[in-house]
Amino acid sequence: MSKVKKGERTIFVCDGKKCCRYNEETKSCFKALIEESGLSNDYSVCKMKCQGMCKSAPVVYISSHDKYKKEVGVKKAKKIFQEYVIA
């Protein structure tokens, strides 16, 4: 896991035991959206340790807004990206 620099905008995707079964598409979606939007220098996607919300896997944390989002699939990832990154 890479360290987050102060002021960096990061989207964390839980990589705990249950989340890692479902998070590959979510991580890929966020990475693609960031690249397509030309925000590669501003945003990054990183793994985070288990957050204890396994029943809501996969879990995502948006550092710039201090928000946790649960059960994030591709459809929800696109909505989160529009609401918290593009907005």
In degrees, rounded to 5, the angle at the alpha carbon of residue 76 between the alpha carbons of residues 70 and 79 is 125
pLDDT > 70: percent of the chain: 91
pLDDT tens for 40-75 read 888 999 999 999 999 999 999 998 888 999 999 999
The pTM of the full predicted model, rounded to 2 decimals, is: 0.88
Residue appearing with tokens 């693609």: 32
Q: What is the pLDDT of residue 8?
A: 64
Q: CATH assignment of 10-86?
A: 3.40.30.10
Share of the chain above pLDDT 90, in %: 70
